[in-house]
Structure 1
Amino acid sequence: MPQVCIYPKQAAQLTGNQYTAGKRLLQRIRTKLGKPAGSYVSVGEFCQFTGLPEAEVSRALNGAPASTFART
């Protein structure tokens, strides 16, 4: 089953930041969306906020092989 929510460690890895920056990023997303602290942030919400392509983020989170990311 594909992963549908983002955790701070993953947010940090996806953006190339440290864990604390990942936590702050998710909190900013929750604040902007009017969600309570500690609620889940979906992959779609994360991608909409960061501007990252949802398909690539989903592949990275769900453990797709590196060859999947190669552009032709």
Structure 2
Amino acid sequence: MPQVCIYPKQAAQLTGNQYSAGKRLLQRIRTQLGKPAGAYVSVGEFCQFTGLPEAEVVRALARC
């Protein structure tokens, strides 16, 4: 089954940043989408915000 949500560690790995930068990125996505602080960010939402192709992100997550 494909992964549905992104975690800070994965956001950091996908963007080449530190864990703390991955946390901040996910919080910016939540803020823009109007989600509460602890809400999950989906792969689609992450890709839409970052501009990364969803197919490549899904492949990268499958390798993690």
What range describes the TM-score normalised by the shorter chain of this pair?
A: over 0.9
Listed as ranges, the gaps of 5+ residues in structure 1 are 62-69
Listed as ranges, the gaps of 5+ residues in structure 2 are none
- Pairs aligned (count): 64
5 Å matches for 1:1-72?
1-61=1-61
- TM, length-normalised to structure 1: 0.84
Identity %: 92
Structure 1: 4+ residue segments shifted above 6 A:
none
The structure carrying a bigger helix percent of its residues is 2
3-state SS, counterpart of residue 26 of structure 2? helix
**Which structure exhibits the higher relative contact order, with contacts defined as CA atoms closer than 8 Å and separated by 6 or more residues?**
2
CA RMSD, Structure 1 to Structure 2 (Å): 3.8
